A and B are shown apart, each in its own frame.
Chain A
Amino acid sequence: MREIKYEDIVKSVKDMILYSATNLPKDAYKALETAYKTEKSEVCKQVLKQILENADIAANEARPLCQDTGLAVFFIKVGEDLKVVGGSLKKAINEGTEQGYKEGYLRASTCHWDTRANLKDEVGYNLPAIIHFDIVEGDGLDIEYAAKGGGSENVSRATVFPPAKGRKGIIEYVKQVISDAGPNPCPPLTVGVGIGGTFEKAVISSKHALFRELGSKNPDPVLESMEEELMVLLNNLGIGAMGMGGTNTVLGVHIEKNPCHIASLPVSVNVQCHSSRHMHIKL
């Protein structure tokens, strides 16, 4: 049994949040640079230049990349042989989240669904965090964190198709979701697609797909070819950076699959804006 201190988890989570809010991940920065170089529309080129400059200013001056510092989303793999001493793991994640959002002068964006009252005093500053736990073998603690803004969540969609819809139906659906979204989710986008499982499994997979490194290949050849096909189709939509009309609408399409029920084909599309604040640590 390995032991890990509650305070150490709190500190790691806090540091992750502080770093993520002001530093665009390298893969996203690189993908945006490529978009800037290849963009054919002058208006979108200007937008992409601003996005890259923004990332430089944010990193150099430790300012949040975007004012929407999101809800804090975690995917956590906990080893069965790991023991947290001094408190619970869930509490540690929430405490680290609250400390990070406060210390970084990040925005508290959680609110009551109906009254829309901010929950910062009642529940905690930008709490609760959205946490997906998984129990795995071993004694590790693996934490993936994303700051997920509202603009790109608002255009994300899920459905359950009859199996006959197949690959073609999935591709058409993803295309429709991105086409309908247009300028609203701050393109260029990363598109996470979750296929199979139950309804909620597909949704969670589509969010998890966003953590894969931009520019990396899908290990599954069928999914890889679907990703390539979608990249072309989605960029052909002509939406462009911030929807102003251009040749770079998506930076990447990432698909995750799950086994299905014999009667259904769930599909989910989770959209990520260009401010792709994702981070992964192992403790």
Chain B
Amino acid sequence: MSKTYHLTAPLSEADVVQLKAGDIVYLTGVVYTARDAAHKKLVDLLDAGQPLPFDMKGAVIYFVGPTPPKPGDPIGSAGPTTSYRMDSYSPKLINEQGLKGMIGKGKRNQDVIDACVKSKAIYFGATGGAGALLARQIKSAEVIAYPELGPEAIRKLEVVDFPLTVINDTFGADLYKIGRAQYEVF
């Protein structure tokens, strides 16, 4: 049975180990945006032994490249982008830097799923293509690194009751496999 949780980011280990694939989470607090270009820069910094532009411990990263905000709005439409493009970077951030949550859409590879088990992190799905609805739950946005990347810059977001579904939990379960197996007709 899927459960519903209200959690606050940054996330603790206790927050994430209770979650199971298929659970609904309404997330409030601070979330950082990053797509592939920003992930590459973050990992390059780590390889060069440099500090990161934000504290990764307990952090939640949202894979999103929003539309430009209209005057007066904190952000434009802001739904998730396809996550596999971050697969080669996420395990390092989870295992070495304490990243606790990722928000995106679509399948992750086994390395990411393993890292979520080993170092206790969650991959959350948000509804792709629901950019106008999701933007309503984002109360503020501030570019904190790489403004030259435009929509791909790293932004610090404050979100309230951001609606998520747990896809990969800390036990190695994958909702995309479990859910489909339940409804596939041969």
Q: Does A54 lie within 8 Å of B70, measured CB to CB?
A: no
- Across the interface, A63 reaches (CB within 8 A) one of B77, B150, B185, namely B77
Q: Which of B8-16, B53-61, B86-94, B131-139 is near enough to bind chain A?
A: B131-139
Q: Does A238 lie within 8 Å of B184, measured CB to CB?
A: yes
Closest A residue by C-beta to B40: A116
Q: Mark B55-83, 1 if CB is under 8 A from A, else 0.
A: 00000000011111110000011110110
Given contacts A63-B132, A65-B131, contact A244 B175 (CB under 8 A): yes
Q: Mark A150-170, 1 if CB is under 8 A from B, else 0.
A: 110010000000000000000
Q: Which of A41-49, A138-146, A259-267 is near enough to bind chain B?
A: A41-49
CA distance A242 to B186 in the complex (A): 21
- Across the interface, B106 reaches (CB within 8 A) one of A47, A53, A64, A184, namely A184
CA distance A239 to B184 in the complex (A): 7
Q: Does B106 lie within 8 Å of A240, measured CB to CB?
A: no
Q: Does B131 lie within 8 Å of A183, measured CB to CB?
A: no
* Contact-residue bracket for chain A: 35 or more
- Chain A residues lying within 8 Å of B172, measured Cβ to Cβ, are none
Interface residues of chain A: helix, strand, loop or mixed (majority): loop
For the complex, is A61 an interface residue (Cβ under 8 Å from B)?
A: yes
For the complex, is A79 an interface residue (Cβ under 8 Å from B)?
A: no
Q: Smallest distance from the beta carbon of B74 to chain A beta carbons, Å?
A: 13
Q: Smallest distance from the beta carbon of B169 to chain A beta carbons, Å?
A: 14
Q: Smallest distance from the beta carbon of B147 to chain A beta carbons, Å?
A: 13
Give the size of the chain B interface in residues (CB under 8 angstroms): 47
Q: Smallest distance from the beta carbon of A72 to chain B beta carbons, Å?
A: 14
Of B81, B183, B185, most A-chain CB atoms within 10 Å: B183
Q: Smallest distance from the beta carbon of A38 to chain B beta carbons, Å?
A: 13
CA distance A72 to B9 in the complex (A): 37
Interface residues of B in 132-186 (CB under 8 A from A): 132-136, 150-151, 163, 165, 175-176, 178-186
For the complex, is A236 an interface residue (Cβ under 8 Å from B)?
A: yes
Given contacts A57-B132, A61-B132, contact A43 B77 (CB under 8 A): no
Q: Does A54 lie within 8 Å of B180, measured CB to CB?
A: no
For the complex, is B52 an interface residue (Cβ under 8 Å from A)?
A: no
Q: Does B128 lie within 8 Å of A151, measured CB to CB?
A: yes
- Across the interface, B165 reaches (CB within 8 A) one of A40, A43, A68, A246, namely A43
Q: Smallest distance from the beta carbon of B45 to chain A beta carbons, Å?
A: 19
Of B69, B175, B178, B180, most A-chain CB atoms within 10 Å: B180
- Chain B residues lying within 8 Å of A51, measured Cβ to Cβ, are 127, 129-130
- Across the interface, A67 reaches (CB within 8 A) one of B2, B77, B136, B180, namely B77
- Chain B residues lying within 8 Å of A238, measured Cβ to Cβ, are 179-185
Q: Does A182 lie within 8 Å of B180, measured CB to CB?
A: yes
Closest B residue by C-beta to A39: B183
Given contacts A105-B76, A183-B105, contact A50 B175 (CB under 8 A): no
**19 more A-B residue pairs beyond the given contacts A64-B67, A67-B79, A245-B179, with a C-beta to C-beta distance below 8 A:** A40-B183, A43-B2, A61-B132, A64-B76, A66-B130, A66-B131, A67-B77, A67-B78, A105-B70, A105-B76, A151-B128, A183-B107, A236-B186, A238-B185, A244-B175, A245-B175, A245-B180, A245-B183, A246-B179
Q: What are 7 A-B contacts defined by CB distance under 8 Å?
A: A54-B130, A61-B132, A64-B77, A184-B107, A236-B185, A244-B165, A245-B176
